[in-house]
Structure 1
Amino acid sequence: MAVVVWIVEGTWPACVDAARAHAPEDADVVLLYVTPAEVPGVAHGAFAGLLGRGRPDRDPGTRLADLAAASAGELLQAAADRLGRPCTRTRRTGRIEHEVVAAAEGADLLILARDGDRTHLGPRSLGPASRFVVDHAPCPALLVWPEPAPGLSTMPPPPPHPPHHG
């Protein structure tokens, strides 16, 4: 069994705990971290266009890319330590939701966390990237709450129904 665990700042412990609880001991677990490609690119562009042609040593895009790589490595290490069993750590760069879906191709399970409004039950508990991943996942997806789920009283009311004419 191949299990992909999407590691994101702030919600990763719940995903790792779900893998520990739901993935068989002999599962091939992949811890996946995706760095958005646009952040260093935007910084590179701003620096080149506005600030400093000819001074590549001062380009903030390079520094941001280095910080992102270090952060990804630290997060993946912490996730592997929490998982407490052999796993593969994978880093991808690009459009986050597309990279997660691509990484889940051929997997038996994808584990991800809610990342939107987690004070209420309902569709807003998913942010845009996780909504895309849930809608396009090429395998079963286990969607977890990073903290205890809110009560049923937070569920939005049903939409009004038009009257029936008979």
Structure 2
Amino acid sequence: MRCVKALQLTLAVIKPDAMAHPLILEALHQKILENFIIIRKKDLIWRKADSEMFYAEHSGRFFFQRLVEFMSSGPMRAYILAREDAITHWRTMMGPTKVFRARFSSPETLRGKYGLTDTRNTTHGSDSIESAKREISFFFPEFSAEEWMMREEPHFRLGHTEYNEESQIHTVKHT
């Protein structure tokens, strides 16, 4: 993937409902692979406190407790994805948050195909550059977006990458 503009980073999360189904998980990974450069990937399980911290901005809303319980109910997978306009592209691929709406207005989206309910809607994605930075650092505290943009982004942008099947991420191709 060769790009003209600087690459943008976004966070993508495969939620526990999709992780519970290996065929859905593989389909989601393939869709991501077809559309993005995968910079980092991590499988994890949250404690309730992690979920409460991540979704703190929704505290007090009617769905908060249900969301917190669900997100700490099983494994999930987090990705750092890159491409031009990564945030918008991932959000478009996900489709509407409300699964009923996704099924009827955007059935080809990830939530339209695989979502179960508004909470169990398969995926999460950052909604802005600021939230992408915050969310990436929450899931990947060891990752420095600034350092990556300075040292690695030019190589990725120019297509000097290869996909590592074992780690399921893209790396800079060393020639």
Shorter-chain TM-score above 0.5:
no
Larger Rg: 1
Higher relative CO (Cα under 8 Å, sequence separation at least 6) belongs to 2
